[in-house]
């Protein structure tokens, strides 16, 4: 899994600053899944917060969930961190109603 994390990190780096915002968002979404699978939970949550904040601005509730089943526990952990005031100040703020909406959609999506 470390190799997958390395490759997707390189992919993200190649896309940054090139104006390919959709491709960059897709690469970052894959990077969240790789990091989570590799057990790098804090990195995955930080990146997910960034993606979710961006998606919240656009109303893209489903988009982060399409990264795979690893995202739902991360979203729950992100919400719990927000509620407990444990999110680092440099992480983007994701509106709690948006996180709740994503989690609600995750339940509907898995049925």
The pTM of this model reads 0.90
Domain that residue 78 falls in:
2-109
Cα–Cα distance measured from residue 90 to residue 106, given in angstroms and rounded to the nearest whole number? 27
What local confidence, expressed as pLDDT, does residue 109 receive? Answer: 56
Read off the pLDDT of residues 2-55 as tens digits, 9 standing for 90 and up: 899 999 999 999 999 999 999 999 999 999 999 999 999 999 999 999 999 999
Select from 71, 21, 7, 66 the least CA-distant residue to 45.
Answer: 71
Read off the pLDDT of residues 54-83 as tens digits, 9 standing for 90 and up: 999 999 999 999 988 889 999 999 999 999
CB atoms within 10 A of CB 25: 20
Q: How many structural domains is the chain composed of?
A: 1
Per-residue tokens: 36 = 């989570």
């Amino acid at each position: 899994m470390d190799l997958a994390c390395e490759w997707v990190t390189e992919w993200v780096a190649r896309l940054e600053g090139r104006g390919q915002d959709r491709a960059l968002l897709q690469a970052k979404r894959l990077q969240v899944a790789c990091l989570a699978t590799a057990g790098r939970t804090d990195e995955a949550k930080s990146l997910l917060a960034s993606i979710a904040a961006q998606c919240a601005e656009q109303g893209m509730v489903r988009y982060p969930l399409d990264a795979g089943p690893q995202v739902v526990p991360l979203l729950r952990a992100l919400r719990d961190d927000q509620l407990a005031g444990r999110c680092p100040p440099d992480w983007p703020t994701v509106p709690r109603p948006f996180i709740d909406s994503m989690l609600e959609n995750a339940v509907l999506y898995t049925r």
